Chain A
Amino acid sequence: DAKTTQPPSMDCAEGRAANLPCNHSTISGNEYVYWYRQIHSQGPQYIIHGLKNNETNEMASLIITEDRKSSTLILPHATLRDTAVYYCISSGDYKLSFGAGTTVTVRA
C-alpha cells in the first residue's frame, strides 16, 4: 500500500513553476523519497529522489522538509509535455508502492 498522500489533480500554466506537494508522515529514517511521472500509455519515468537534503537535477528540484514528513517537487518552467501523472513514493528497499498520484495538466 502507498505510504504517501498527494492531491488527485492540479493545473499549471505553461511557463510557470509547478509545485507538487506530497505527504509522507510515516516515512522511516532509511527511506528515500522518489518521484516518477507517467505520460499516458508509457512506462513511469524517474524524475528525482532524495533522503533529507534538497536535490536538483535537469528535470526538477525536490524540497524535503526538515522533519521529512512532506516534500515538494518543483518543475521550474512547466511545458505542455509535462502533462502527466506524478507519483511520490517513499521506499527503503526494492519495492516501489505507487499510489494514485497527482494528475498534472499544463495549460497553454
Chain B
Amino acid sequence: DTGVSQNPRHKITKRGQNVTFRCDPISEHNRLYWYRQTLGQGPEFLTYFQNEAQLEKSRLLSDRFSAERPKGSFSTLEIQRTEQGDSAMYLCASSFRGAMTDTQYFGPGTRLTVL
C-alpha cells in the first residue's frame, strides 16, 4: 500500500520563474488537498478537490497559483512568477470521503526555495 507521493521533493528556482509540483494520492482516495507550511508554522489549507472538481480555495491562493486534478487522480499545483514569499513546504494530502470521517494522509511535501 503506497502512500501519498509528491514530486519533486525539493525545488530551487529564481524569482519570476514558474514552477509545477505533482501529487499522487493514495489509490481510491477521492479527495485531494494542498497545504502550505512556512518555517515554524503549522500547515495552512490552500485548496481541495473531490474527484476532479475543485471545491474550495483559500484566500491564500493568489491568482498566481493554480491547481488541477484533471482525471480525479493526480494533481498539479503551479505557481507563476514566483516570489521569495512563496518559499515554503507544499504538502499534499488525500482522503476517502465516506459515510463517516475522511482522514487525511499527507505526503512528504515539496520544499520550494525562491532565490
Interface residues of A (CB under 8 A from B): 2, 32, 34, 36, 41-46, 49, 85, 87, 94-101
In the complex with contacts A94-B31, A94-B55, A96-B104, A44-B43 CB distance below 8 A: yes
Does the CB pair B42–A49 fall under 8 Å?
A: no
Interface string of B47-91 (1 = CB under 8 A from A): 010000001100000000000000000000000000000000101
Contact residues on B (Cβ < 8 Å of other chain), bracket: 20 to 34
How far does the Cβ of A107 sit from chain B's closest Cβ, in whole Å? 22
Interface residues of B (CB under 8 A from A): 4, 31, 33, 35, 41-45, 48, 55-56, 89, 91, 93, 101-109, 111
Does the CB pair B103–A96 fall under 8 Å?
A: no
In the assembled complex, which residues on chain A have CB atoms less than 8 Å from the CB atom of B33?
94, 96
Question: Among the interface residues B42, B44, B107, B108, which one has the most CB atoms of the partner chain A within 10 A?
Answer: B42
B interface majority secondary structure: strand
In the complex with contacts A32-B101, A43-B109, A46-B103, A94-B56 CB distance below 8 A: yes
